[in-house]
Chains A and B, each alone.
Chain A
């Protein structure tokens, strides 16, 4: 090439890039947001699955009743003499 030196300078100029100072911050923010969204999405999908199945709804209700009874039992246990 006749313009070999200019061509080399052009390649060097194309290889130089301005990286914005906050670029890494922006990437990390988007990663953290994606993680949060993924967590909420898992919860949402579990809630949807429970809502769709009658058995799952019954199991969730039974679990809630059991937890409730357990809590009442532990509260009343304070008054039972040992």
Chain B
């Protein structure tokens, strides 16, 4: 955190290239979040690049008292993803695959097939639930951090995560073991 602040100060003092350190430090985090919300690879990279560019342009408005730099970056990325998802033509929600034929153990799903089903289930979640789930379960952020990113009370975040998990669980309960 302190290191981030030192780099930010250098950038604000005119050392533009110091920003590269922040890019290298947070690029994976951003691409992970965006990649779990937007599947297209090019679009994902564009959004991550756009997020970092916005962060650079508005760096002066970053207030370290309000939270970590990483939280601020994720907030920008979240807003950009939401804007992008709103602009898209709404896709019909694909129904979750129902598997009722519980056969023997030899039919157990392979990781690949299982992962595809979970990916599909994740895509069908409402955006607010998907965002909270990804930030908490995949990126390991605390509920408080997610609340700051979403601008939402922690209770609401917890409820979104639990609804998302319930939906994924409903998929898993319909798959053979």
A residues lining the B interface (CB < 8 Å): 1-3, 6-7, 9-11, 13-17, 19-20, 23-24, 26-28, 30-32, 34-35
User: In the complex, which residues of chain A have a beta carbon less than 8 angstroms from the beta carbon of B119?
Assistant: 14
Contacting residue for A1 out of B28, B134, B172, CB 8 A: B172
Complex CA distance for A30 and B20, rounded to whole angstroms: 12
Closest chain B CB from A77 CB (angstroms)? 38
> Does the CB pair A10–B118 fall under 8 Å?
yes
> Does the CB pair A15–B53 fall under 8 Å?
no
**Most interface-central of A3, A7, A10 (chain B CB within 10 A):** A3
User: In the complex, which residues of chain B have a beta carbon less than 8 angstroms from the beta carbon of A24?
Assistant: 20, 23-24, 27
Complex CA distance for A2 and B115, rounded to whole angstroms: 14
| Interface membership of B45, Cβ < 8 A | yes
> Does the CB pair B57–A28 fall under 8 Å?
no
Q: Which of B157-177 contact A (CB under 8 A)?
A: 168-169, 172-173, 175, 177
If the complex has contacts A17-B31, A17-B35, A23-B45, are A31 and B53 also in contact, measured as CB distance less than 8 A? yes
Q: What size tier do the contact residues of chain B reach?
A: 35 or more
What are 18 contact pairs spanning A and B, CB under 8 A?
A2-B173, A7-B172, A10-B111, A10-B118, A15-B139, A17-B32, A19-B27, A19-B28, A23-B23, A23-B31, A23-B48, A27-B27, A27-B53, A28-B19, A30-B49, A31-B16, A31-B53, A31-B56
> Does the CB pair B169–A27 fall under 8 Å?
no
Top 7 closest A-B pairs, CB basis? A17-B31, A24-B23, A17-B32, A27-B52, A14-B138, A27-B23, A10-B118
> Does the CB pair B28–A17 fall under 8 Å?
yes
Complex CA distance for A14 and B16, rounded to whole angstroms: 32
> Does the CB pair B23–A28 fall under 8 Å?
yes
Complex CA distance for A10 and B109, rounded to whole angstroms: 13
Closest chain B CB from A71 CB (angstroms)? 32
| Interface membership of B104, Cβ < 8 A | no
Q: Mark B6-40, 1 if CB is under 8 A from A, else 0.
A: 00000000001101100110011001100110000
